[in-house]
Amino acid sequence: MNKYEALLKSKMEEHSFNKLTALGNDKVMDFVGQFIEHCEPDTVYVCDDSVSDEDYIRKVALEKKEEFPLAKNGQTIHWDSYGDQARDKRNTRYLVYKENLEKMHSLNSLEFEEGMKEIMGIAKGIMKGKDAVIKFFCEGPAHSEFTMPCVQFTDSWYVAHSESILYRPGYAHFKDMGKDDDFFRFIHSAGELDNRNCSINIDKRRIYMDTQNDIVYSMNNQYAGNSIGLKKHSMRLAISKSGREGWLCEHMFVMACINEDKGRRTYFTGAYPSGCGKTSTAMIPGEEVVGDDIAYFRNIDGEFRAVNVEQGIFGIIKDVNSNDDPVIFDNLMIPQELIFSNVLQDQDNNPHWLGSGLDAPDKGNNHSGYDWYKGKQDDTGKEIGIAHGNARYTMRLDYLHNFDKAGFEDTKGVRVQGILYGGRDSDITVPVEESPSWEDGIILKACTLESETTSATLGAEGVRNPSPMANMDFVSYPLGEYTDNNVNFGKKIENAPKIFSTNYFLKDENGEFCNSKLAKKVWLHWAEGRIHGEYDSIDTPMGKIPKYEDVKVLFKKFLDENYTEKEYNYQFSFRCINWIAKLERSKVFFMKMDEKTPMYIFKKWDDTISKISSIMDKYGDVIKPGDYKG
């Protein structure tokens, strides 16, 4: 008999208690029992994978007014507290045992005992007067080598509903795995709520992650980036776990490049910092998407295989319109299960967001309250727009007509043959370049990623923010060790994917972007051809670039554009001084983040800087395609 059995029976109806005990998993029972005792919810509902339980979650989310129905059947809207509409980086911290604090010093860490005392103090009785729900999920396909089982305990039915859309059901997997205790645990409470059922105590918002014991504590928040444990919190647990076990968890999309002429599909993954083209690359028209955000990589039978961790999209809705994101936009217009968050609800119960391309009303309900009107100002005197800039949509991937269902469901994952890394870079990196080796690709392309600030960013324009692997917000153990694991993982696979850098933001002499947003299809298909040995290349000091005649044909084929040799020569020139400065910035950043970064990484940068310096003495600063004779 479990020590919490009497307590569990007192908080659950019989069918919920029976679902829990049917798992035969003492660790699950202890987790649930401990937090029922500590957080003190009035009732607890346990879900299995049934349609009836999914319907029940949606029903309760509406009854509790955490969500509101919209005009189109299946669509709902949710609002977060005015101060809880983005990830709280300051209060998202790692709980670290005292002996590991020094090596985690550059990450946002807190001594374990101190952090546990604080978070458990906040959590004490936080669910009084509320009904909680327990859901079981799988990250990655169930019953697979990739599978990461997860259990979520929350008092927010909006959170439970969101996760039902975003993640694969996992109750059956838990039942089959029996007493296995290798799973992630998440405890969340929205805390005290206001009259809109939004979290009040934002000053006590905490998201504490214990990667040593695979558990996340999230209190006093509802914004999905803070509350949905299976999103980026789980990703941090998985990055730490993969580092210990020899696989990889990366902030990457997974997609299939479709070559209709050859009748083949080639799988790519890609990492891009926020605002640098990640989602638009995953959704290139004519290709197919497996996942848009998080991937697990494993060496399976000597092949580099990947799965999408999720089954849905939690996407930024700003600027989603019929021109730039037609696949997503069309689905937002259909009566089907969707959650809109922090957008405007008009008097006819239709949603409106920034950059939709549609006419917006002058008044309605939005993230600032039930009384929004055009010209309304916040406490600082700043005008409040129709929707928050970080407003979101939550949607199933299988709604998309270009969804690769077979790739998504493959329990062995898809075989990855190409990896794309791209940042926001106005004057250094060429539009596409192949790395000569896996190690060079990780150290010289992935580790040197930067995201350049724009006029839309608070602060100075043109500041280059380092973003190694486009993953710095989520790396959960020292950066040098994480990089070393990436290098070693690929080197152990005989036919590791080719690594390519891309750059969609190179500017011409007039400060205008060199190419349209659609040009990324050209760079993707050149990379696909290189993987299959179909294009020759030109050497640069750091890799291989396309020949003009090949990209000229691709521009005509896919975009019906005449790509000139003048454009090509400018865009694919190697810029020595800028590259040396970029590599020097990477050295400084890595030393700041992890002074114990393996020395071979710094040696690679130093050797490359020396090589470029020597080349510059011979060829000058800017080297046109074909001039360099390596």
According to the model, what pLDDT value does residue 4 have? 94
Domain harbouring 151, CATH code: 3.40.449.10
Regions of the chain with pLDDT less than 50: 455-458
| Residues 100, 121: Cα–Cα separation, whole Å | 24
Q: Are residues 300 and 335 in the same domain?
A: no
| DSSP state for residue 496 in the 8-state scheme | P
List the one residue out of 587, 618, 619 whose CA is nearest residue 604.
587
Q: Are residues 329 and 353 in the same domain?
A: yes
According to the model, what pLDDT value does residue 456 have? 45
Q: Evaluate whether 29 touches 183 at the Cβ level (below 8 Å).
A: no
Give the dihedral sign, CA 552/553/556/562. positive
Show the tokens assigned to 143.
């019953």
- Considering the domain boundaries, does residue 129 fall inside one? yes
Integer CA distances (angstroms), 192 to 87, 133, 219, 368, in order: 19, 17, 10, 18
Q: Are residues 219 and 274 in the same domain?
A: no
Domain boundary among 228, 245, 262: 245
CA 217 to chain centre: 20
- Considering the domain boundaries, does residue 71 fall inside one? no
Domain harbouring 534, CATH code: 3.90.228.20
At 3, is the secondary structure helix, strand, or coil?
A: coil
| Residues 199, 219: Cα–Cα separation, whole Å | 10
Q: Are residues 379 and 273 in the same domain?
A: no
- Tell if the pTM clears 0.85, that is, is over it: yes
- Considering the domain boundaries, does residue 74 fall inside one? no
Q: What is the dihedral of CA 533, 538, 541, 542, to 10 degrees?
A: -30
Q: Are residues 297 and 214 in the same domain?
A: no
- Considering the domain boundaries, does residue 630 fall inside one? no
- Considering the domain boundaries, does residue 80 fall inside one? no
Place of tokens 């996942």: 291
Give the dihedral sign, CA 80/84/87/88. negative
Q: Are residues 530 and 447 in the same domain?
A: yes
Give the dihedral sign, CA 5/128/223/330. positive
Domain boundary among 375, 397, 419: 397
Range of the domain at 12: 5-66+85-245
**283-299 core/surface letters (b: 16 or more CB in 10 A; e: else):** bbeebbbbbbbbbbbbb
Helix locations, 307-365, DSSP H: 326-332
Q: Are residues 386 and 469 in the same domain?
A: no
pLDDT in tens, 100-126: 999 998 999 999 999 999 999 999 999
Q: Are residues 51 and 128 in the same domain?
A: yes
According to the model, what pLDDT value does residue 218 have? 98
pLDDT in tens, 377-424: 988 899 999 999 999 999 999 999 999 999 999 999 999 999 999 999
276 is catalytic: yes
- Considering the domain boundaries, does residue 150 fall inside one? yes
Q: Are residues 21 and 154 in the same domain?
A: yes
Q: Evaluate whether 206 touches 218 at the Cβ level (below 8 Å).
A: yes
Total residue count of the chain as it appears in this document:
630
Q: Which residues pair with 369 in a beta bridge?
A: 366
Q: How many domains does the chain have?
A: 3
- Considering the domain boundaries, does residue 612 fall inside one? yes
- Considering the domain boundaries, does residue 77 fall inside one? no
| Residues 66, 50: Cα–Cα separation, whole Å | 22
Domain boundary among 397, 429, 455: 397
According to the model, what pLDDT value does residue 455 have? 46
CB atoms under 10 Å from CB of 199, counted, come to: 25
At 7, is the secondary structure helix, strand, or coil?
A: helix
Domain harbouring 346, CATH code: 2.170.8.10
List the one residue out of 58, 56, 7, 54 whose CA is nearest residue 30.
7
CA 200 to chain centre: 27
List the one residue out of 193, 191, 252 whose CA is nearest residue 226.
191
Q: Are residues 33 and 117 in the same domain?
A: yes
| Residues 17, 3: Cα–Cα separation, whole Å | 14
Integer CA distances (angstroms), 39 to 118, 225, 355, in order: 14, 22, 41
List the one residue out of 484, 435, 461, 474 whose CA is nearest residue 601.
484
Q: Are residues 55 and 198 in the same domain?
A: yes
Residue of 138, 249, 276, 576 marked catalytic: 276
Q: Are residues 98 and 211 in the same domain?
A: yes
Place of tokens 């009384």: 371
